Amino acid sequence: MATETRETTGARTGEQFLAGLRGDERELWLEGEKVTDPAAHPKLEGAARSLARVFDLQHEEPDTFLMESPDTGQSVNVTHVLPKSREDLERRRAASKRIADETVGMMGRTPDYLNYTFANFAARADVWARYGNEDGARNVVEYQKHMRDNDLSLTHTLINPQVDRSVAEAEQAGGEVSLHKVEDTENGILVRGARMLATLAPFADELAVYPGSDLRLQDARYAICFAIPMSTPGLKFICRDSFSVQRDPWDHPLSSRFDEMDAVVIFDDVEVPRDRIFLDGDAKLHSEVITDTHWRAHIIHQAMTRAWAKLEFAFGIGHTIADLTGVNAFDHVQEKLGELWSMLELTRAGIVAAEAGSFQAEGSEDWVPDERSFVALRGLMPKWVPRSIELIQLIGGGGFMATPSKADWEGPLRADIEKYFQGRNAGAERKIRAFRLAWDFVGSSLGGRGELYERFYLSDSFRMTALAYLLADKDHPTELVERFLTD
């Protein structure tokens, strides 16, 4: 397995990234068809190109994106940094913000997402090493170097399928559907079952499995963490319908570029080699590696940075269409635009607050964002992004439907379109394109998927807002109340 060979690429170009997807033996199914080259498939190539652009950016803007690998001396992406200061956090965030701006927050799982996760896991190898899991901890550290120094794109899959959420994994469908260990093999372990979703599956080099929910202590066979190449025998990916629309980007500016795709993962007796196993059978440690590594604070740093860019984009869309139709003259539309802006500004403030309050974790060099604003935002963002979509719909009215295609624009009715589709301060083409862009955000299949993603990708908002209450410091607030109860 490649972790042992220390021949490395360093930061890759877009072309190198695309070449890496070509011709491997991954079993990826899309609408009944086995896809052999995701980068060239008409329903996937738009997103592949956008991701390639993310790889190219690191060479075009090395000051933002590159750092020296502590092991190879090569240039590698800065989002792999094991942060040891507030400056490290800020630098990492600046790179993620640049990526999120480039993809206008529409691609939730650009590779930086998992770069943060594994950097955090490697920084907290001490937690992974608990209860005799030293080998697993060593594998995590080596794996993080491998993905950093080879600039890998990872997908991950944490949640078991929705068979019966009211009972534990072991009690659903005879315990056979959820991903579980079957047996030890000569070279590692054999795993079987399925996981519900892996976003980015067509565009990933490797698949990571790590804890996404708590397990009962007796359910040890479900407590497994590892990372393996997408082409590992027995791995099968079944994609949802493509929402990519490969007509002219004039018609579908977002759907032609940013469908990052989601796939169910089936593990049909997959052998995980020993050096890729991070945890094997310890349900207690399975819970602790998420809570005790400060993973939550690190991953929300990436997630809220992307959300900030997405809300900026939403505000930009709202303002643009309101200005084109002149409705921003009305105070209640201004109020809606003000609400949109407030969400993006509070997101920015939450990120800055988390960085300002960052600290060195006890017993470790890991530098951790202050998670309080992140815990709050994690519960609010699944409500805010759908609210931003609702606000844009209320600002745009029926304009989203008055949107002829590029073929119409270039056809015999051009003169009519120029006259009847013009805006307050711009010609018909600009107005039509703005409303088509807005619809791709609020109403197309990709727009709907984006809304669902924001509601659920970090677990559901209901549980996250409840978690905010559970984690909240209640001492000072109750002291304020206590004064009036005891005088």
Least distance to ligand FAD from the beta carbon of 196, Å?
Answer: 6
59 Cβ contact list (under 8 Å, min separation 6)? 11, 13
Of 1, 94, 159, 426, the one binding ligand FAD (CB under 6 A) is: 159
Is residue 163 within the footprint of ligand FAD (CB under 6 A)?
Answer: no
Closest CA to 198 of 188, 190, 210, 189: 210
Is residue 198 within the footprint of ligand FAD (CB under 6 A)?
Answer: yes
Nearer to ligand FAD, 158 or 266 (CB): 158
Nearer to ligand FAD, 330 or 456 (CB): 456
84, 116, 161, 222, 288 from 293: Cα distances, Å: 14, 12, 26, 20, 8
Exposure string over 57-96, b if 16+ CB within 10 A, otherwise e = bbeeeeeebbbebeebebbbbbbbbbbeeeebbebbbebb
Nearer to ligand FAD, 2 or 159 (CB): 159
Order of all β-strands in the sheet with 277-280: 154-156, 206-209, 224-229, 277-280
Q: Which two tokens stand for residue 323?
A: 């200005």
> How far is residue 328's CA from residue 335's CA, in Å, rounded to a whole number?
9
Is residue 74 within the footprint of ligand FAD (CB under 6 A)?
Answer: no
Of 5, 162, 218, 486, the one binding ligand FAD (CB under 6 A) is: 162
Is residue 457 within the footprint of ligand FAD (CB under 6 A)?
Answer: yes
- Residue recorded with tokens 């534990």: 168
Least distance to ligand FAD from the beta carbon of 125, Å?
Answer: 23
Name the CA radius of gyration of the chain, rounded.
Answer: 24
Closest CA to 290 of 380, 158, 153, 161: 158
Which stretch in 217-225, 340-348, 416-424, 458-466 sits in contact with ligand FAD by CB under 6 A? 458-466
Which stretch in 47-55, 196-204, 302-310, 408-416 sits in contact with ligand FAD by CB under 6 A? 196-204
Least distance to ligand FAD from the beta carbon of 284, Å?
Answer: 20
Of 52, 67, 197, 346, the one binding ligand FAD (CB under 6 A) is: 197
Is residue 452 within the footprint of ligand FAD (CB under 6 A)?
Answer: yes
Is residue 229 within the footprint of ligand FAD (CB under 6 A)?
Answer: no
By CB under 6 A, what part of segment 321-360 binds ligand FAD? Answer: none
Of 42, 73, 132, 165, the one binding ligand FAD (CB under 6 A) is: 165
By CB under 6 A, what part of segment 87-146 binds ligand FAD? Answer: 109
Residue 188, helix vs strand vs coil: strand
By CB under 6 A, what part of segment 274-313 binds ligand FAD? Answer: none
Least distance to ligand FAD from the beta carbon of 73, Å?
Answer: 33
Nearer to ligand FAD, 279 or 322 (CB): 279
Nearer to ligand FAD, 374 or 421 (CB): 374
Exposure string over 29-46, b if 16+ CB within 10 A, otherwise e = ebeeeebeebbebebbbb
Length of the chain: 487
Kind and range of the H or E run holding 264: strand 262-273
By CB under 6 A, what part of segment 200-219 binds ligand FAD? Answer: 212
Binding footprint of ligand FAD on the chain (CB under 6 A): 109, 156-159, 162, 165, 196-199, 212, 262, 449, 452-453, 456-457, 459-460, 462
